[in-house]
Amino acid sequence: MNKFIAPIILTILIAALLLAFFDNVNLLPAQATVEAKSVDGLFHLEFQLISMIFALCLGFLLYSIVTFRRKPGEEGEGQHFEGNVTLEAVWTLIPTAIVLVLGFYTATQLNNTTMADDNEVPIHVNGIQWSWLFTYPMYKEVGTVSELVLLKDQPIRLVITSESAVTPVIHSFWVPEFRMKQDAVPGVTSVLHFTPDTVGDYRVVCAELCGTGHAKMVAPVHVLEQTDYDAWLVAHGVVMGTNSEAQTSAGTEATAEATTEASTSATTDNSAAIAAGATLYTTHACIGCHKADENGTQTVGPSWIGLFGSEVTLSDGTTVTADEAYLRESILDPSAKVVEGFPDGVMPHTFADTLSEEDVNNLIAYIESLSGN
Amino acid sequence: MLMRLGLIRGIIGGVIGVLLGMALAMIIRLILGMELWSAAPVSAVAGICGTIGFMFGVGGFTAWLKWARGIEVGDDHYHPQEGIPEWERYFGFDLNHKVIGIQYTVTAILLFMLGGTFALIFRTELAQPDMQFLNLAQYNTLMGLHGIVMIAAILVGVGGMANYLTPLMIGAQDMAFPHLNAFAFWLNIPGAALVVTSLFTGGFDTGWTAYPPLSLVAPLGMQFFLLGVFIVGLSSIFGSINIITTILMMRAPGMSLFRMPIFVWGVFATAIISLTATQFIGLSFMMILLERLFNMPFFDPSRGGDVLLYQHLFWFYSHPAVYVFVLPGLGIISELLPVFARKPLFGYKWVAISSMAIAIVGFLVWAHHMFTSGMNPGLRTPFMMTTLLVAVPTGVKFFSWLATMWGGKMTFETPMLFVLGAFLVFLLGGLTGPPNALVVTDIQLHDTYWVVAHFHYTMFGGFTFAFMAFTYYWFPKATGRMYSEFWGKIHFLFMVGGFLTLTSAMFRLGLMGMRRRIGDYDPTVGFNNWHLLATIGGYLVAFSVFVWVVNLVLSARRGTVAAANPWRSRGLEWQIPSPAPEHNYETVPQVVGEPYDYGKEPAEDYVTFNPSPAPAGD
């Protein structure tokens, strides 16, 4: 038996090193949900098991390479033995037992981390090419927003799907710090249950390849304390402490964040057109590529902030003024004039069929309102 | 002279086929009163007709059509022709399995270099955040092409190993169906050409998985990708029919199933999967083509279709396919370890049966790719359990390999180094699998670089390292010359170093939250240095592949002349001269012993070439 002592010591040494590594180095992102703790517990168990099995194989492999190599001048063949049924049975049955136990344990953990909570609050998530849109059924005044704002310690039920007037494709909702991922599938409604428990700013990214702008499909997530959360709701038109239904006025269902800003800066006779354009901006998925936030974020397509009336450099090097005629042409025939630095062929050529003359006018009015003149 | 080459005639036939196909499609459109030109349908018909034209031109149908008309078919394709240089055989429709095996192997290496070049291009782009020289659409196309070209390279490489070795190892003169064998090989050429055409027809932004609805609206390149993969799949089905028949019907007298070389078991298990599962990827790709071309709403939920149906069909092939990729490679490891350790393979029957077990369990695990897909959540636990069971037969292989080395007298020539490299890399690939199998942690890891690293470990360990060992170990058998041992070891060092650098960085990135398939990443999350490291690793791998190819090419011409059996192997193929004679075995070999009885006292033969039957009782 003593010939097994050296490789076993080697195995234990390697295992100890690896276990110490995984005990002391955190390889995962921060934890921001209650569920993340259970998930990371399982990760740790997996890393420990991997360390031990890897050490066993590597220990014996290294020992064999050193000990059972042909020394210079040595003749002859290796020892002749063809197998050992007991050994084969042992290394068939023990791994079977390990994986079955691991499987059952994980099944119970899965049950714990995907359980619904009685107090959970629904939030609807829609993935479009290439943005995340969130609606709060409990606060209709908020409308559709492109950031996910959550209350700390409030259990959440995310209702996730992929609906788009343009091209509904599969996306996948993933916040690494939440340890939660769920595909947004056209025709399927999926649900995620979790409780955020750490205040902070995170990002929801799309984890399922969804086309050209996949890499850019990122939206901010904020987990807030009660006071900040209430302030956010108020800023989005929710009147605290009254019946929110009473506050709902016609057309606010899909009113984007930008609408409020836009309508204040626009003349009154134009405000209906601007509001209608703002609605179309979301429903026809313009928001997917053309951002209208104050920072003027450029993603897959040019930002609409300050676009109207500006000088635009095209891919052929010429410049053009972004007037009404240019915008109309770019909506209806996107390939006619392509802005420098942005790929051609990404924007659908279908808007001539899906938008009416009035829709296009409303959209242009909305774009004009974002230029603040 | 050029017109003598089947490849040239095939290309001409292909061009004629494309033109006829375009004409055919436009005539049909004219008759139906449609606009004459529409890129998608016209190019689809052109692609199919071009493939048929290529197969006509290369000579794939010649003998079959003669048989159909009752004309005697000579065996012109069987012998090297008088006055025609030997190298020309490799560019034409040759029936000898060794020629076809080398055709497959060289094609696989070329496809590898192509797929690797795609990877290097986008790996360079990923070295730093922001887009430097690609745009996001180009990144998506290159990333998808890298995936599918590598898959084709692996399938073709498996074909190379299986076709070259199987008849030699079982004592047969050739494969059961030599015409079908050559036909299956040549199908890969138009198949690969169609896939690469996608690069010039708008690309495709779906990755190799081609999930609808994205693949339904993807550019025209998507269609060429789907057609090309369909044709490569057809080749795979034809090849596997041939392999199964050859193994079952053409073994030398005395070679019972449990006296077959262990590699043949791996190939047998692989062929069973290819024969029964490839149809599913063909079917799923055809459904996408039909929805694109004829608006049949298989995957459109607004018209009664189902998006997830595709994923089930796709993975029903594409998961077993990974065992198609690795089982022959694991067979190479089991085959070479006894030779270099000078010991019997430990637990031969267990290792043989474990290949079959992996093949069978492999059919029951497909939905583990869909844990976050929105399928019925209740399916997740059963698919997790079946997936975990794959670990058991895989573990049997590893422990048997360790026991095979135990007590041996190992030497470390280049093929053995690659076998040990394959052992290490596949071990890490296997051990990083369970975190993906276990649903709770897979939800976090799915679609991240962790998964990318994991499957690169399994593919490199289960296929690439083993395939490289194959090219070195059987190099003297194929060429009659030895490769350069020095450059072989240089290749190994850069390969292992480069690969571990590349993939360790990928594992780290995946755990940090790096999504797969993104052409650009946030510079503020801490990914930057790891991506730079991965890119450096990628270039090291590329350099090692360059060393490999140069070594093989130069050694084939100038290497020292090899002995008939440089490895002192007991295998049948090493008992005949190198390079192997045209018809393999002059006299029918008689198998009278065990394949791996190294070190047995008194020594016993595995095979005799005595024309009279061997005396009973060994």
Q: Do B217 and A64 count as a contact with CB atoms less than 8 A apart? A: no
Q: H/E/C letters for each residue in B182-225?
A: HHHHHHHHHHHHHHHHHHHCCCCCCCCCCCCCHHHHCCCHHHHH
Is A168 near chain B, with CB under 8 Å?
yes
Instruction: State the nearest Cα–Cα gap between A109 and chain B, in angstroms.
Output: 7
Q: Return the DSSP state at A298.
A: B
- For A242-264, what is the mean pLDDT? 44
How many Cβ atoms are within 10 Å of A353's Cβ, its own excluded?
8
Is A106 near chain B, with CB under 8 Å?
yes
- Which residue is closest to A78 within chain B, CA to CA? B408
Task: Report whether B254 contacts B590 (CB < 8 A).
Answer: yes
Is B528 near chain A, with CB under 8 Å?
no
Give B409's contacts in chain A (Cβ within 8 Å). 68-70, 74, 76-78
Beta strands A218-224 and A148-151 are parallel
Q: B522 vs A348, which has greater pLDDT?
A: B522
Amino acid making up residue B225: F
Distance separating alpha carbons of residues A218 and A215, to the nearest angstrom: 8
Q: Return the DSSP state at A214.
A: G
Give the distance between the most distant pair of CA atoms in chain B: 83
Q: Do B513 and A176 count as a contact with CB atoms less than 8 A apart? A: yes
Distance separating alpha carbons of residues B462 and B270, to the nearest angstrom: 13
Q: Do B598 and A113 count as a contact with CB atoms less than 8 A apart? A: no
- Which residue is closest to B354 within chain A, CA to CA? A92
Is B211 near chain A, with CB under 8 Å?
yes
Q: Do A57 and B402 count as a contact with CB atoms less than 8 A apart? A: yes
Contacts of B336 (CB under 8 A, 6+ apart): B415, B416, B419, B469, B473
- ipTM score for this prediction: 0.92
Q: Do A84 and B392 count as a contact with CB atoms less than 8 A apart? A: no
Is B346 near chain A, with CB under 8 Å?
yes
Give A65's contacts in chain B (Cβ within 8 Å). 405, 410, 420
- For A93-121, what is the mean pLDDT? 93
Give B388's contacts in chain A (Cβ within 8 Å). 99-100, 102-103
Is A241 near chain B, with CB under 8 Å?
no
Of the partner residues B392, B434, B440, the one whose CB lies closest to the CB of residue A113: B440
Cα–Cα distances in angstroms (integers) from residue B213 to residues A104, A140, B76, B307, in the given order = 35, 31, 50, 7
Say which residue the tokens 């079946």 belong to.
Answer: B386
Position A249 pLDDT exceeds 70: no
Give B395's contacts in chain A (Cβ within 8 Å). 91-92, 95
Backbone dihedral region for residue A343 (phi beyond 0: left; psi -120 to 50: alpha; all else: beta): beta
Instruction: State the nearest Cα–Cα gap between A205 and chain B, in angstroms.
Output: 8
Which of A60-64, A309-313, B312-316 has the least mean pLDDT?
Answer: A309-313
Position A1 pLDDT exceeds 60: no
Position A250 pLDDT exceeds 60: no
Positive or negative: CA dihedral A128, A133, A136, A142? negative
Q: A244 vs B236, which has greater pLDDT?
A: B236
Give A81's contacts in chain B (Cβ within 8 Å). 343-344, 346, 407
Is B438 near chain A, with CB under 8 Å?
yes
A177-233 per-position pLDDT tens digit:
999 999 999 999 999 999 999 999 999 999 999 998 899 999 999 999 999 999 999
Structure confidence at residue B80 (pLDDT): 65
Query: Could you say which residues of chain B have pLDDT below 70?
Result: 1, 75-81, 611-618
Backbone angles phi, psi at B297, to 5 degrees: -85, 55
Number of alpha carbons in the 13 Å side-chain half-sphere of residue B185? 36
Return residues 309-338 of A near B (CB < 8 Å).
Answer: none
Structure confidence at residue B275 (pLDDT): 94
**Can you list the pairs that B2-7 forms with residues at least 24 positions away whose Cβ atoms lie under 8 Å?**
B4/B84, B4/B88, B4/B92, B5/B88, B5/B91, B5/B92, B6/B57, B6/B58, B6/B59, B6/B91, B6/B92, B6/B93, B6/B186, B7/B58, B7/B91, B7/B92, B7/B189
Which of A139-148, A267-276, B256-265 has the least mean pLDDT?
Answer: A267-276
Of the partner residues B347, B398, B601, the one whose CB lies closest to the CB of residue A88: B347
Structure confidence at residue B611 (pLDDT): 61
Q: Per-residue confidence at A241, pLDDT binned at 50, 70, 90?
A: low
**For residue B244, which of B222, B217, B265 has the smallest C-alpha distance?**
B265
Give B349's contacts in chain A (Cβ within 8 Å). 83
Q: Give exposure, B148-179, as e/b (b: 16+ Cβ within 10 Å).
A: bbbbbbbbbbbbbbbbbbbbbbbbbebbbbbb
Is A361 near chain B, with CB under 8 Å?
no
Is A122 near chain B, with CB under 8 Å?
no
Q: What helix, strand, coil percent values describe chain A, rounded to 5?
A: 45, 20, 40
Say which residue the tokens 């993807």 belong to.
Answer: B218
Position A92 pLDDT exceeds 50: yes
Q: Give exposure, B559-579, as e/b (b: 16+ Cβ within 10 Å).
A: beebeebebebbbbbbbbebe
Instruction: State the nearest Cα–Cα gap between A287 and chain B, in angstroms.
Output: 19
Give the distance between the most distant pair of CA atoms in chain A: 100
Q: Return the DSSP state at B463.
A: I
Q: Give exposure, B429-451, as e/b (b: 16+ Cβ within 10 Å).
A: bbbbbbbbbbbbbbbbbbbbbbb
B316-343 per-position pLDDT tens digit:
999 999 999 999 999 999 999 999 999 9
Beta strands A121-128 and A156-161 are parallel
Cis amide prior to B129 (ω within 30 degrees): no
Give A211's contacts in chain B (Cβ within 8 Å). 140, 205, 214, 218
Task: Report whether B461 contacts B422 (CB < 8 A).
Answer: yes
* Virtual torsion, Cα B328, B334, B336, B342, nearest 10 deg: -170
Instruction: State the nearest Cα–Cα gap between B305 and chain A, in angstroms.
Output: 9
Task: Report whether B238 contacts B310 (CB < 8 A).
Answer: no
Is B307 near chain A, with CB under 8 Å?
yes
pTM assigned to the model: 0.91
Beta strands A171-175 and A180-184 are antiparallel
Instruction: State the nearest Cα–Cα gap between B224 and chain A, in angstroms.
Output: 18
Q: Per-residue confidence at A253, pLDDT binned at 50, 70, 90?
A: very low
Is A70 near chain B, with CB under 8 Å?
yes
Tell me the average pLDDT of chain A. 87
Instruction: State the nearest Cα–Cα gap between A110 and chain B, in angstroms.
Output: 6
Q: Do A99 and B434 count as a contact with CB atoms less than 8 A apart? A: yes
- For A295-314, what is the mean pLDDT? 85
- Which residue is closest to A58 within chain B, CA to CA? B424
Which of A149-163, A188-202, A285-299 has the least mean pLDDT?
Answer: A285-299
The helix (H) or strand (E) run that includes residue B329 is helix B307-341
Structure confidence at residue B546 (pLDDT): 97
Is A125 near chain B, with CB under 8 Å?
no
Structure confidence at residue B76 (pLDDT): 56
**For residue B285, which of B204, B352, B342, B349 has the smallest C-alpha distance?**
B204
Of the partner residues B307, B344, B385, the one whose CB lies closest to the CB of residue A170: B307
Instruction: State the nearest Cα–Cα gap between A370 and chain B, in angstroms.
Output: 27
Say which residue the tokens 């209350």 belong to.
Answer: A151
First to last CA, chain B: 55
Structure confidence at residue B609 (pLDDT): 85
Give A80's contacts in chain B (Cβ within 8 Å). 343-344, 597-601
Structure confidence at residue B168 (pLDDT): 96
Give A96's contacts in chain B (Cβ within 8 Å). 389, 392
Q: Per-residue confidence at A247, pLDDT binned at 50, 70, 90?
A: very low
